[in-house]
C-alpha cells in the first residue's frame, strides 16, 4: 500500500485518530433497544434491534421470523385448490389479492384461461382488496405519528369495503374465492350499485384524510425529508409498490406486467412522487386508493356477461412444468414460482412477497435517524407481518 | 361569608379544602371526564362509554374499580421506594394547584397574595415525579420517556410563566382573586359592560398559555414522553393498578385544573357580566360558572389533542425556544408599554 507513505494520507489518519480520542472523552455509553417483538408500533411481531446514542440510531437491524408459518412447505402437501386457503393469510388485510397470482400461475401451467366475466370480477375484487388494505394504512400512519383519530375513520369506512367483499365471497378476511379457471360464484344481485355507493364513501374518506392528515403542518414536519430513499438504492434493495413509486420510479405491474387481469383495458394512471420520503409514500398511497376507486368503477360499468368458470376437470392435475407470475399487490410486487411434476400437489412453491423486500432496506434507511422517526419510517414503508414471514 | 363559630385560619382552610375536594371537585371531575370522553368519541365517530350508568356517566367509577383490583407489580430491578412514591408526587402537584383557584368572592381554598406564583411553582413539582418514575422503573422505555418529559417540561415552564406575566402586569397583582376582580371591574376603552376578560387584551398570552399547557400535560401534539407508538408509554410503562390510576387521574385532573387556571386568568373566572361581583350569589353560582368555562377551555385542549399528530423532540424544543419564548417576551414588553401609556 503505497498510499500509506503519502504524507497527506498520514496527516488524515492522524487527524482521524485525534478526533476519535476527543470523541471517546465526551462519548456516552450506547444503549441497545429492542423495538419489538411485542411493541405497539410493529403491529405484529417484527423486532427491530436499534443501537442508540441518546435518541440517535447508530445501527438498526430487523429480526424477522417470529411469525413464520411455513406456507411454502405446507403448499407441497395441499392440492392446488387448497393452496388458496393458505395464501389468503399472507397479507391478511388485502387477502383476495394474494390468491390472484397463484391462481394465474396454475392457470398458465394448465393452459386454461378464465372467461372474460371472471377476469373482470377478479379485477374488481383485486382492487377492492387494495382499497381495504391501503385505507387502513392511511389511518394507521396517523396513529404511528400520535394522532389517534384517523384510524377510527379508516376502520369505519373499511368496514363497507369488507361488506362488499363479503357479499361476493362469503368471507371478510379470507375470501378463498378464486378458482383455477375462474371464480367460485357470480356476483350477488344489486352488488354493483351498492359497491358504487361504497366507492363514493371511500373517495370522501380520501378527501377527509387529505384535510386531516396530509395538510397538517405537524404531519408534514414529521414526514417531509424523513427516510428519503433514492430511486437507485430502492431498486437495489428490491423495493416495489408504492414505496418505489414514491421515489419517482414509474413502474407498476398492473400496467407493465400484463397478466391475467383487465387493467390494460381500463383508463387509469400510475402515480409517482419525486421526493422518496415518508410523505411521498403516504401521498402516493392516498392517490392510489382514489385511482383504485376509479378502476373499480370502470370495471363495474364494463363487466361482460357470460360464465364465470372455464371448463376444467373436476380433479385438478397440473401438468409438469414451472411458471412464475407476479402481480402488483397492495403492498407491492407479489410473485409465485410454482413447480409442478404433474401431481395433485405442487412440487415446490416459492412466494415472493413485497414486505420482505421492503423491510430489508431498514438497516440502511434507519441509520442516523431519531427514535420517533424510526417509527414513522417503518409505518411509511407499510409492511404486514404475515407478508414478511409467510 | 361569616361563620357562626369563630374558627382559626387553619381550621377554616382545612374545612374549605375537605368540603371543596369532596363536594365540588369529585362531581366536577366526573362531569368534565364524561364530557371529554363523549366529545372525543364523537370526534372519532364512535359512541364512547355507554354501559356504566345512564349514558356511561359512571365510567370513571367503573375504571377506578377496575384499576383497584389489579395487582401492583413492581419490577424486580426497580428502585422500590422511588418507584412507589413517584405517582404521589405527581398527584400532590396536581392537588396543590387546585388550592389557589377561587370559585366565588368568598369561595376559595386559600387566599394568598402570591397565588399565581404559588400555582406555577407547584405545577413544576410534577416534573420531579415523572423523572422519578422514569428513572426508577429500570426500563429503557421509561428512562427515555422520563428524560424526554424532563426536557420538555423545563422548556415549556418558561413560556407558561411568561404568558401569565402579561396578565399579572395588567391586573397589577399576583393574587388570583384580585385578578378575577380586576377582570370583573375592568373596562374596555371606558366601557365596562362585560368587564374586561383578559382574553381580549392578552389574546397572544392566552394562545401561548394554551400551547404551553398542552406541553405541560404531555398531551398530543406534545406527548413524546408517553408516545405510545414509539416508547410504549414512556415513564408509565411499568406501572400497573392503583399507581397507574394515580398517574392517569393526575393527567386528566391536571388538564382540568390548568383549564380552570386559564379560565380564571383569561376568561374572568367565576364572574359573569351583569351581576355585581361582590354579590353573595356568586358564592353559589361561581363554581358552576367556573365549571362552564373550564369545560370550554378543556374542549379546546382536547380538540387539539385528538386532531394533531405529535412533534419530534427537537422540533418541540425549537418551537419553545425559537417561537413561544420570543413571542411571550414581546407580549410582556408591549403589555408593559401599554400599561404605562394608558
- Element (DSSP H or E) covering residue A17: helix A7-26
Binary contact (B227, A216; C-beta < 8 A): no
The whole-model pTM stands at: 0.80
B315 touches chain A (CB under 8 A): yes
Please, what is the end-to-end C-alpha distance for chain A in angstroms? 48
B230 touches chain A (CB under 8 A): yes
Residue B2: pLDDT band (50, 70, 90) is: low
CB A329 within 8 A of CB A354: yes
**B 266-295 residues with CB < 8 A to A:** none
More reliable by pLDDT, A188 or B342: A188
Lowest mean pLDDT, pick from A34-48, A251-265, B40-54, B132-146: A34-48
Q: Average of pLDDT values for B126-155?
A: 84
| Most A-contacting residue of B309, B311, B314, B315 (CB-CB within 10 A), to test interface | B309
Q: What is the pLDDT of residue B305?
A: 82
Which grid coordinates belong to B139? 426500563
Which grid coordinates belong to A90? 399472507
DSSP state of A303: P
Q: What is the pLDDT of residue B191?
A: 66
Which grid coordinates belong to A44? 405484529
| Most A-contacting residue of B230, B236, B305 (CB-CB within 10 A), to test interface | B230
What is the DSSP track for B190-244? TB-BTB--HHHHTHHHHHHHHHHHHHHTT-TTS-GGG-TTTSTTGGGTT--HHHH
Q: What is the pLDDT of residue A1?
A: 44
Q: What is the pLDDT of residue A42?
A: 64
- Element (DSSP H or E) covering residue A284: helix A278-302
B71 touches chain A (CB under 8 A): no
Mark out the alpha helices in chain B (DSSP H runs).
Answer: 9-19, 26-43, 59-69, 80-99, 115-123, 125-136, 140-171, 176-185, 198-201, 203-216, 241-266, 281-305, 313-318, 325-341
Binary contact (A371, B231; C-beta < 8 A): yes
CB B130 within 8 A of CB B153: yes
Contacts of A145 in chain B (CB under 8 A): 229, 309-310
Contacts of A371 in chain B (CB under 8 A): 144, 230-231
Binary contact (B309, A375; C-beta < 8 A): no
d(CA A63, CA A384): 14
Q: Average of pLDDT values for B139-158?
A: 84
Binary contact (B311, A219; C-beta < 8 A): no
CA of B208 to nearest chain A CA: how many angstroms apart? 17
Kindly list the residues of chain A whose beta carbon comes within 8 Å of any beta carbon in chain B.
31, 33, 39-41, 55, 142-149, 152-153, 156, 212-213, 216, 218-219, 221-222, 370-375
Binary contact (B45, A213; C-beta < 8 A): no
Neighbours of A29 (CB within 10 A): 5
B220 touches chain A (CB under 8 A): yes
Q: Please give the mean pLDDT across all residues of chain B.
A: 80
More reliable by pLDDT, A372 or B6: A372
d(CA A166, CA A157): 15
Q: What is the pLDDT of residues B14-24, one digit of tens each?
A: 777 777 666 66
Contacts of B312 in chain A (CB under 8 A): 221-222, 370, 372-373
B312 touches chain A (CB under 8 A): yes
Chain B residue with minimal CA distance to A33? Answer: B140
B311 touches chain A (CB under 8 A): yes
Q: What is the pLDDT of residues B212-261, one digit of tens each?
A: 888 888 777 888 777 777 777 878 888 888 888 888 878 878 888 888 88
Binary contact (A142, B310; C-beta < 8 A): no
What separation in angstroms does the CA of A354 have from each of A286, A383, B23, B121, B257?
Answer: 19, 8, 60, 55, 50
Binary contact (B310, A146; C-beta < 8 A): yes
Q: What is the pLDDT of residue A180?
A: 87
Which grid coordinates belong to A66? 417470529
- By Cβ distance, the residue of A146, A149, A212 closest to B223 is A146
Q: What is the pLDDT of residue A37?
A: 77
Contacts of A33 in chain B (CB under 8 A): 140-141
Q: What is the pLDDT of residue B23?
A: 66
What is the dihedral sign for C-alpha A212, A215, A218, A224?
A: positive
What is the dihedral sign for C-alpha B313, B319, B324, B325?
A: positive
pLDDT cut 70: percent of chain B above it:
92
**B 120-159 residues with CB < 8 A to A:** 140-141, 144
Q: What is the pLDDT of residue A25?
A: 58
Binary contact (B312, A370; C-beta < 8 A): yes
What is the ipTM for the molecules in this complex? 0.73
Q: What average pLDDT values come out for chain A (390 residues) when binned by 10 residues?
A: 60 67 60 77 76 81 84 88 86 86 88 88 90 88 83 88 89 85 86 90 89 84 86 88 88 80 85 88 90 90 86 83 88 89 87 87 86 84 84
Q: Average of pLDDT values for B52-80?
A: 82
| Most B-contacting residue of A31, A46, A48, A218 (CB-CB within 10 A), to test interface | A218
Q: Average of pLDDT values for B147-167?
A: 85
- By Cβ distance, the residue of B43, B308, B313 closest to A216 is B308
Q: What is the pLDDT of residue B141?
A: 84
- By Cβ distance, the residue of A40, A146, A370 closest to B220 is A146
Amino acid at each position: 500500500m503505497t498510499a500509506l507513505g503519502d504524507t497527506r494520507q498520514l496527516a488524515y489518519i492522524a487527524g482521524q485518530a485525534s478526533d476519535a480520542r476527543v470523541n471517546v472523552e465526551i462519548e456516552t455509553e450506547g444503549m441497545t433497544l429492542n423495538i419489538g417483538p411485542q411493541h405497539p408500533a410493529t403491529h405484529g411481531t417484527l423486532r427491530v434491534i436499534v443501537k442508540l446514542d441518546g435518541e440517535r440510531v447508530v445501527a438498526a437491524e430487523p429480526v424477522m421470523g417470529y411469525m413464520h408459518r411455513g406456507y411454502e412447505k405446507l403448499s407441497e402437501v395441499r392440492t392446488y385448490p387448497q393452496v388458496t386457503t393458505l395464501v389468503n393469510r399472507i397479507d391478511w388485510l388485502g387477502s383476495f389479492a394474494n390468491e390472484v397470482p397463484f391462481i394465474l400461475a396454475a392457470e398458465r401451467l394448465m393452459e386454461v384461461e378464465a372467461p372474460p366475466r371472471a377476469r373482470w370480477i377478479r379485477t374488481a375484487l383485486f382492487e377492492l382488496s387494495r382499497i381495504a388494505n391501503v385505507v387502513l394504512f392511511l389511518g394507521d400512519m396517523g396513529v404511528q405519528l400520535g394522532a389517534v383519530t384517523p384510524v377510527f375513520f379508516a376502520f369505519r369506512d373499511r368496514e363497507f369495503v369488507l361488506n362488499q367483499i363479503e357479499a361476493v365471497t362469503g368471507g371478510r378476511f379470507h375470501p378463498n374465492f378464486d378458482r383455477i379457471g375462474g371464480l367460485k360464484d357470480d356476483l350477488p344481485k344489486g352488488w354493483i350499485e351498492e359497491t358504487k355507493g361504497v366507492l363514493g364513501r371511500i373517495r370522501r374518506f380520501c378527501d377527509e384524510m387529505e384535510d386531516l392528515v396530509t395538510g397538517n403542518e405537524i404531519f408534514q414536519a414529521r414526514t417531509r425529508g424523513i427516510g428519503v430513499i433514492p430511486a437507485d438504492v430502492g431498486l437495489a434493495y428490491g423495493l416495489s409498490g408504492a414505496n418505489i413509486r414514491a421515489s419517482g420510479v414509474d413502474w407498476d405491474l398492473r400496467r407493465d406486467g400484463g397478466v391475467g387481469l383487465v387493467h390494460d383495458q381500463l383508463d387509469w394512471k400510475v402515480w409517482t412522487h419525486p421526493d422518496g420520503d415518508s410523505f411521498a409514500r403516504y401521498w402516493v398511497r392516498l392517490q392510489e386508493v382514489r385511482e383504485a376507486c376509479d378502476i373499480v368503477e370502470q370495471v363495474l360499468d364494463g363487466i361482460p356477461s357470460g360464465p364465470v368458470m372455464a371448463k376444467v376437470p373436476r380433479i385438478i392435475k397440473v401438468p409438469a412444468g414451472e411458471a412464475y407470475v407476479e402481480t402488483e399487490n397492495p403492498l407491492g410486487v407479489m410473485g409465485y414460482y410454482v413447480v409442478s411434476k404433474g401431481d395433485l400437489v405442487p412440487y415446490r412453491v416459492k412466494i415472493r412477497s413485497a414486505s420482505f423486500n421492503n423491510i430489508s432496506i431498514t438497516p440502511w434507511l434507519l441509520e442516523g435517524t431519531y427514535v420517533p422517526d424510526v417509527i414513522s419510517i417503518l409505518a411509511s414503508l407499510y409492511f404486514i407481518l404475515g407478508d414478511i414471514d409467510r | 361569608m361569616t361563620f357562626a363559630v369563630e374558627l382559626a385560619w387553619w381550621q377554616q382552610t382545612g374545612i374549605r379544602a375537605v368540603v371543596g375536594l369532596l363536594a365540588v371537585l369529585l362531581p366536577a371531575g366526573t362531569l368534565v371526564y364524561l364530557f371529554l370522553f363523549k366529545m372525543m368519541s364523537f370526534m372519532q365517530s364512535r359512541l364512547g362509554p355507554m354501559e356504566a350508568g345512564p349514558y356511561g356517566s359512571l365510567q370513571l367509577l367503573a375504571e377506578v374499580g377496575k384499576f383497584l383490583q389489579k395487582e401492583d407489580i413492581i419490577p424486580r430491578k426497580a428502585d422500590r421506594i422511588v418507584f412507589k412514591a413517584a405517582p404521589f408526587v405527581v398527584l400532590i402537584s396536581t392537588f396543590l394547584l387546585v388550592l389557589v383557584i377561587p370559585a366565588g368572592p368568598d369561595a376559595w381554598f386559600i387566599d394568598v397574595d402570591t397565588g399565581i406564583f404559588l400555582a406555577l411553582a407547584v405545577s413544576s413539582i410534577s416534573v420531579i415525579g415523572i423523572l422519578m418514575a422514569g428513572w426508577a422503573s429500570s426500563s429503557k422505555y421509561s428512562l427515555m420517556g422520563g428524560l424526554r418529559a424532563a426536557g420538555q417540561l423545563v422548556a415549556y415552564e418558561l413560556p407558561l410563566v411568561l404568558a401569565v406575566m402579561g396578565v399579572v402586569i395588567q391586573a397589577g397583582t399576583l393574587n388570583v382573586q384580585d385578578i378575577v376582580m380586576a377582570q370583573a371591574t375592568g373596562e374596555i376603552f371606558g366601557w365596562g359592560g362585560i368587564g374586561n376578560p383578559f382574553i381580549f387584551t392578552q389574546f397572544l398570552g392566552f394562545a401561548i398559555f394554551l400551547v404551553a399547557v398542552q406541553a405541560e400535560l404531555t398531551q398530543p401534539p406534545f406527548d413524546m414522553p408517553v408516545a405510545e407508538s414509539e416508547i410504549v408509554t414512556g415513564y408509565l410503562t411499568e406501572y400497573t393498578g392503583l399507581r397507574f390510576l394515580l398517574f392517569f387521574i393526575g393527567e386528566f385532573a391536571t388538564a382540568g385544573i390548568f383549564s380552570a387556571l386559564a379560565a380564571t386568568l383569561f376568561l374572568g373566572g367565576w364572574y359573569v357580566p351583569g351581576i355585581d361581583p361582590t354579590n353573595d350569589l356568586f358564592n353559589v353560582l361561581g363554581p358552576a360558572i367556573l365549571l362552564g368555562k373550564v369545560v370550554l377551555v378543556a374542549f379546546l385542549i382536547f380538540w387539539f389533542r385528538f386532531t394533531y399528530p405529535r412533534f419530534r423532540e427537537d422540533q418541540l424544543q425549537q418551537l419553545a425556544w425559537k417561537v413561544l419564548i420570543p413571542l411571550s417576551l414581546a407580549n410582556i414588553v408591549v403589555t408593559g408599554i401599554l400599561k404605562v401609556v394608558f
